[in-house]
């Protein structure tokens, strides 16, 4: 199964560490949004999209990359047309954050909806805590100073293993 992880990791390398752990299991390529062409996405059987979380939002570079993916049936005009049926195959979302994801307002939800609107079938999400030095946390040297730790990376690998099996079974 050919897999790509599109990953924005700008502050401490937390998200890239998680992406690399998943990539080990999935034998995947890890690339930043500016290292991938939108036109390359159909060449992959599974695509992961991940970033750190900034003010309860995924990184703008990752969101911009996904917004550049045309909606199915609309040609090359991103943002036009109505909500489409799935046509691009399976995808997943992963994130690292200083604060936990809230059940009533998950920070991964907007990206999941954006991907679904671009024709991806989002099969799952993965989040873990990570070093966060955003103000006001910077004043105390940050929070989650040792994260993602080995337990987080083991969980990321287990997530990837399950995802790989599920996608291979569905294919």
Provide CB contacts within 8 A for 153, sequence distance 6+. 17, 18, 21
Quote the CA–CA distance of 49 and 167 in Å, as a whole number.
16
Quote the CA–CA distance of 48 and 26 in Å, as a whole number.
11
Which of residues 61 and 82 earns the better pLDDT score? 61
Which of residues 84 and 129 earns the better pLDDT score? 129
- Other CB atoms closer than 10 Å to residue 166's CB: what's the count? 14
How does pLDDT run across 76-88, given as a tens digit for each residue?
A: 444 444 444 447 8
pLDDT of residue 144: 67
Full-prediction pTM beyond 0.75? yes
């Amino acid at each position: 199964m050919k897999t790509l992880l599109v990953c924005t990791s700008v502050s401490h390398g937390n998200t890239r560490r998680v992406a690399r752990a998943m990539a080990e299991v999935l034998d995947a390529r890890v690339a930043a949004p500016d290292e991938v062409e939108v036109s390359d996405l159909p060449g992959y059987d599974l695509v992961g999209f991940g970033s750190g979380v900034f003010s309860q939002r995924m990184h703008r570079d990752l969101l911009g990359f996904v917004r550049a993916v045309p909606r199915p049936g609309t040609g090359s005009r991103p943002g036009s047309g109505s909500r489409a049926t799935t046509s691009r195959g399976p995808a997943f979302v992963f994130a690292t954050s200083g604060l936990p994801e809230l059940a009533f307002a998950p920070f991964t939800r907007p990206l999941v909806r954006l991907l679904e609107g671009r024709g991806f079938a989002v099969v799952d999400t993965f989040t873990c805590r990570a070093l966060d030095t955003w103000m006001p946390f910077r004043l105390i040297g940050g929070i989650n100073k040792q994260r993602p730790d080995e337990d987080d990376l083991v969980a990321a690998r287990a997530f990837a293993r399950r995802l790989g099996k599920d996608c291979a079974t569905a294919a």
